[in-house]
Amino acid sequence: MVDQTGLRDAIKRVYAEVANDPKKGYHFHTGPDYAVERLGYSRGILAELPDSVTGPFAGVGNPLSLGLPARGATVVDIGAGSGMDTFIAAKAVGPSGKVVAVDMTDAMLQRGRQNVALTGLRQIEYREGFAEALPMESGSVDLVISNGVINLAPDKGVVFREAFRVLRGGGRLQIADIVVHKDIPPAGREDIAIWTA
């Protein structure tokens, strides 16, 4: 099993760069044009969000294309980053709802909190935490979303158990992520460069 602390440090370094310099050029795509052209996001919805929200977007799918949360709902975004999905969900739940944006990267937490202040969407709360130990009470969430994050967790089972724990009965999980159809050899599974690339 890959060293989790070393992996987390490497992931934090990559995503701190993305937060501060989203157009630098990475092995993955970033930004709103990519989200619209490849992943089916609405250009109109993204145009309503500041560049500081949409620019560092580095998701791999579109979890809210599967349905928006209801007004007043409680949502948790695992690995929220600068918050593109978070902010779309926040507009859907309105001021009577709540969106908890969980991230482990200081630079993303800072960027996300600045974005909350910039947009005035006070129903968003950024919390530092890990996908494997969500800072949420059991049975308190209507919708769990995540975009391109669970693949970075060595033990996916722990992450899914956490999502199940925080959801209330009838609650929904809507995630976008990547899957591999070809086996990664054992040496590759222990190679942090493979995980972050």
Partner 1 sequence: MEIDIAWRGRPFTGASGERKANKYEVEGVNIRARKP
Q: Estimate to the nearest angstrom the gap between the alpha carbon of 14 and the chain centroid.
A: 15
Q: Output phi, psi for 97, to 5 deg.
A: -100, -170
Q: Estimate to the nearest angstrom the gap between the alpha carbon of 105 and the chain centroid.
A: 11
Residue 45 binds to partner 1 (criterion: CB under 8 A): no
Choose among 185, 135, 125: nearest CA to 165: 135
With CB under 8 A as the rule, give the number of residues binding partner 1: 37
Residue 176 binds to partner 1 (criterion: CB under 8 A): yes
- Residue 149 in contact with residue 79, Cβ under 8 Å? yes
Residue 38 binds to partner 1 (criterion: CB under 8 A): yes
Choose among 58, 85, 75: nearest CA to 152: 58
Q: Estimate to the nearest angstrom the gap between the alpha carbon of 8 and the chain centroid.
A: 15
Q: In angstroms, rounded to a whole number, what is the distance separating the alpha carbons of residues 159 and 120?
A: 30
Site string (134-173) toward partner 1, x via CB under 8 A: --------------x---------------x--xxxxxxx
Assigned token pair, 22:
């989203």
CB of 193 to partner 1, least distance (A): 10
Residue number with CB closer to partner 1 (59 or 83): 59
Residue number with CB closer to partner 1 (25 or 44): 25
DSSP β-ladder status, 124-128 and 141-147: unpaired
Residue number with CB closer to partner 1 (39 or 113): 39
Residue number with CB closer to partner 1 (44 or 181): 181
Residue 60 binds to partner 1 (criterion: CB under 8 A): yes
Q: Which amino acid is at 85?
A: D
CB of 65 to partner 1, least distance (A): 6
- Residue 103 in contact with residue 79, Cβ under 8 Å? yes
Question: Which of 54, 62, 74, 115 contacts partner 1 by CB under 8 A?
Answer: 62
Question: Which of 47, 118, 133, 178 contacts partner 1 by CB under 8 A?
Answer: 178
CB of 18 to partner 1, least distance (A): 13
Binding site for partner 1 (CB under 8 A): 25-29, 38-40, 59-63, 65-67, 148, 164, 167-182, 184, 194, 197
